[in-house]
Amino acid sequence: MHRITVIGGGFAGLTAAVAAAEAGAKVTVHEAHHTLGGRARTAEGPYRTNDGPHALYSGGPHWTWLKQRDLLGPLAPIPALEAARMRLRHHGVLRRTPPFAMLKLLRHGIQQAPVDSDFMSWATRIAGEEAARAAAHYSAVALFHHDPGALSAAFVQERLRRATKLPPEAHYPRGGWASVIDRMAARAWNLGVRMETLSRVDTLPTDGPVVVATSLDAARRLLGDDSLTWTSGRTTLIDLALRTRRGDAFAVSDLDSPGWLERFTAQDRTLAPAGEQLIQGQIPIAPYEKKADGIVRAEELLDLAFGGWRERVVWRSESVANGRTGAVDLPGTSWRDRPAVDRGDGVYLAGDQVAAPGVLSEVSFNSALTAVSLALGHRTLDLKQA
């Protein structure tokens, strides 16, 4: 029987643990924190905020894999009335529909954007500068970068396509991602996986294959390998609980600069006490900007879409997610150029900044399955690569 050690008990680590145990391996997971989940944790208490993921994209390979194993759990569908309250800020005012020229970039059958060009140059040639900029800013919801137009056109196009699909791909596990993590942990437990929390690993074990399913920063330190770097975003996060008032927007996408607000209680009432609404804003900021710059932009959007919000605040929290929102690919690079999963000597990387396809946590998922396949000497597991 194969023995595998998994370092990190986030979405990647749990995926690797379940996949390896299903393939018959004896698996031990070490997680530094006292709970599993990593960035997919959901806060305890009256306001069930997520540190990381809110949306599970149904077009991704993780969706089918989780569903086949009954690990998705109950979902929180967006009521039609709430979906109709989606707004876009363009030229300083809220509107319901995207600028017409932007639709040229979303048409069915549009050419595949090139890897080598930046998105703004490519999209401007197709739809004009204004539409290209609006589309780039919209895509920030799935890439969390302050200047999406400067990234690889192919990279941004894929996220734009996934984030604008109808019916929407974004689905929301009821109670936050913690409910998916709990189910994955229960499955791992039932398969005999040994899970050790409060177990930070400082030295790589040498008694068998190891899947390092930490952030890329932590993997760099653990492996002592300075080449383990990749570009990511920097985003101001603002979480707010507001007293309920009819007519609040469901979500606001800023087409004037990258930014997104969403009232998550619109689809999931369990996230805040009765009579209150939970809203999260994510405003990507440039390297030279401060958290406060993102807060100013978030408040501008709140002023437009959540009338009287300042008087309705009952709880508020702010933070910056620095390099925690997954890989972004610059022009001339694709996921294939990121740090390889196979590090040699039986060490494999899994996470959202390594060489695997997909959007956001799908990269963690795909790399986890690749890592386990390689560790077990299988050519493929249940791996569907884009």
Ligand X SMILES: Cc1cc2nc3c(=O)[nH]c(=O)nc-3n(C[C@H](O)[C@H](O)[C@H](O)COP(=O)(O)OP(=O)(O)OC[C@H]3O[C@@H](n4cnc5c(N)ncnc54)[C@H](O)[C@@H]3O)c2cc1C
Residues lying near ligand X in the complex (CB under 6 A) are found at 7-13, 30-33, 38-40, 52-55, 200-201, 213-215, 218, 222, 237, 282, 321, 324-326, 351-352, 360-361, 364
Nearer CB in complex with ligand X: 270/322: 322
Q: Which among 108, 121, 171, 120 is positioned nearest to 145, based on CA atoms?
A: 120
Instruction: Count CB-CB contacts under 10 A for residue 61.
Output: 18
CB of 212 to ligand X, least distance (A): 8
Report in angstroms how near the CB of residue 109 gets to ligand X at its nearest: 27
Rounded to 5°, angle at Cα 244 from 305 and 181: 90
Q: Which one, 30 or 90, has the nearer CB to ligand X?
A: 30
**Which tokens belong to 68?**
């086949």
Instruction: Determine the Cα–Cα distance for residues 185 and 170; give it in Å rounded to an integer.
Output: 23
Q: Select 118 or 235, whichever has its Cβ closest to ligand X.
A: 235
Closest approach, Cβ 141 to ligand X, in A, equals: 8
Q: Residue 130, class by beta-carbon neighbours within 10 Å (0-12 exposed, 13-18 middle, 19+ buried)? A: middle
Residue 350 per-residue DSSP state: -
* CB closer to ligand X out of 152 and 361: 361
In whole angstroms, the minimum distance from the beta carbon of 17 to ligand X comes to 11
Nearer CB in complex with ligand X: 98/176: 176
CB of 237 to ligand X, least distance (A): 6
Q: What is the smallest separation between the CB atom of 39 and ligand X, expressed in angstroms?
A: 4
Question: How many angstroms separate the CA atoms of 157 and 151, rounded?
Answer: 10
Amino acid at 15: T
CB of 319 to ligand X, least distance (A): 9
- DSSP string of 261-330, one letter each residue: EEEGGGT-GGGS-TTEEEEEEEEE--TT--HHHHHHHHHHHHHHHSTTHHHHEEEEEEEEEEEEEEE---
Classified as helix, coil or strand, 369 is helix
Residue 198, exposed/middle/buried by CB under 10 A (0-12, 13-18, 19+)?
exposed
Residue placing its CB nearer to ligand X in the complex, 135 or 237: 237
Q: Which token pair is 295?
A: 């807060």
If the CB atoms of residues 33 and 165 are measured against ligand X, the closer one turns out to be: 33
